[in-house]
């Protein structure tokens, strides 16, 4: 039973992050997919498409949704999947360190992986004081 990872992003963000993750880790230890929501997209159509992807990703451990921006359409669509019966946790503020941290702890359960994602995202931010 492993967790599936679904990136919910604006156009051209999710697939670029998966590509960058594959550069660092050629064999991703979890199933990862991206749904990129174009500006003119119908939210109901996107919700249906996203639910399909989420169900395919779920290997019995649930789905970790990593969204680029809390409150934006991609995040809201991801959050709405819970009402459709998808077992999920959602973490917003997606960045590459967040995704890589999740992939490095692939054996963890969904709730713990959500905490790891948030910690990894925050930990990947650095201010150089030089």
User: What domains can you pick out in the chain, each with its CATH number?
Assistant: 4-123 (3.40.50.510)
State the pLDDT at residue 92: 98
State the pLDDT at residue 89: 98
Token digits of residue 105: 């702890």
Query: What is the reported pTM?
Result: 0.96
State the pLDDT at residue 1: 83
Helix (H, G, I), strand (E, B) or coil at 118: helix
DSSP assigned state of 12: T
Please list the residues that pair with 88 across neighbouring strands: 63
| Mean pLDDT by groups of 10 residues along the chain of 130 residues | 96 98 98 97 95 96 98 97 96 98 98 98 94
Question: CB 113: neighbour CB atoms within 10 A?
Answer: 25
44: nearest Cα among 81, 88, 89, 5:
81
102: nearest Cα among 64, 55, 46:
64
């Amino acid at each position: 039973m492993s967790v599936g990872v679904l990136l919910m992003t604006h156009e051209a963000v999710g697939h670029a992050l998966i590509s960058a993750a594959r550069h660092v880790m050629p064999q991703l230890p979890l199933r990862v997919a991206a749904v990129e929501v174009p500006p003119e997209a119908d939210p109901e159509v996107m919700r249906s498409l996203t639910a399909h992807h989420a169900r395919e990703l779920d290997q019995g451990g649930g789905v970790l949704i990593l969204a680029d921006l809390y409150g934006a359409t991609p995040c809201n669509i991801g959050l709405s999947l819970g009402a459709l019966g998808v077992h999920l946790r959602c973490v917003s503020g997606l960045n590459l360190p967040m995704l890589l941290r999740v992939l490095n702890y692939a054996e963890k359960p969904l709730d713990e992986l959500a905490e790891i994602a948030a910690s990894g995202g925050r930990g990947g931010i650095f201010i150089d004081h030089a």
